[in-house]
Amino acid sequence: MGIYKLKPACEDYLWGGHKLVDDFGIEYDGDVLAEAWLLSCHKDGKSVVADGEYKGRTLNELIDILGK
């Protein structure tokens, strides 16, 4: 099994800001970022494979493909 870089699921609630982007390097295009779920299979925000063979697949899909 390889190592896979994931894009986090990001939430832009009203109380967000830019600390996660500025201080922790979370890649995000919106105005405010309230939460970043870095490793998530939650139905409301799934991490996505950032590159390689499985690019664009959710973490859930990757687990299904590679086994549990």
Average pLDDT, the chain: 92
Examine the pLDDT at 49 and tell me if it is beyond 90: yes
pLDDT band at 1 (very low <50, low <70, confident <90, very high): low
Q: Is the pLDDT of residue 43 over 90?
A: yes
Supply the pTM of this predicted model. 0.82
Say if residues 6 and 39 touch (Cβ distance below 8 Å).
yes
Angle at 54 between CA 9 and CA 46, to 5 degrees: 20
Domain-wise residue ranges, the chain: 6-66
pLDDT digits (tens, 9 = 90+) for 20-38: 999 999 999 888 999 999 9
pLDDT score at 5: 94
**Main-chain phi, psi angles of 23, to 5 degrees:** -90, -25
Counting DSSP H helices and E strands in the chain, the numbers are: 2, 6
